[in-house]
Amino acid sequence: MTLATLKEVLQPALQQGYAVGGLVCLGWEDMRAYVAAAEAEKCPVILQAGPGCRAHTPLPVLGKMFRHLAEQASVPVVAHLDHGYTYDECSEALDAGFTSLMFDGSRKPLADNIKETLQIAEMAHNSGISCEGEIGFVGYSGGEASAGTDPAEAARFATETGVDAMAISVGNVHLQQDKEGGLDEPRIAAIQAATGVPLVIHGGSGVPVDQRHRLATTTNICKFNIGTELRMAFGNAMREAVNRDAERFDRVGILKETHDPVMAAARTVLRNLKG
Catalytic residue among 30, 82, 104, 164: 82
Residues 248 and 254 sit within 8 Å (Cβ to Cβ): yes
User: How far apart are the two ends of the chain, measured CA to CA in Å?
Assistant: 25
Query: Cα dist. 257→37, 68, 146, 234, 250 in Å?
Result: 15, 22, 37, 9, 12
Residues 182 and 215 sit within 8 Å (Cβ to Cβ): no
The per-residue DSSP string of 85-104 comes to -SHHHHHHHHHTT-SEEEE-
Q: Is 82 a catalytic residue?
A: yes
DSSP, collapsed to helix, strand or coil, labels residue 236 as helix
When computed from its CA atoms, the radius of gyration of the chain, rounded to whole angstroms, is 18
Please, where are the H alpha helices in the chain? Answer: 6-16, 28-41, 51-56, 59-72, 87-95, 110-126, 151-161, 185-194, 209-218, 228-243, 251-256, 259-272
Counting every residue, how long is the chain? 275
Using CA atoms in the order 181, 143, 204, 75, what is the torsion angle rounded to 10 degrees? -170
DSSP, collapsed to helix, strand or coil, labels residue 224 as strand
Query: Cα dist. 36→152, 155, 259, 262, 272 in Å?
Result: 40, 37, 9, 10, 16
Positions marked active-site: 82
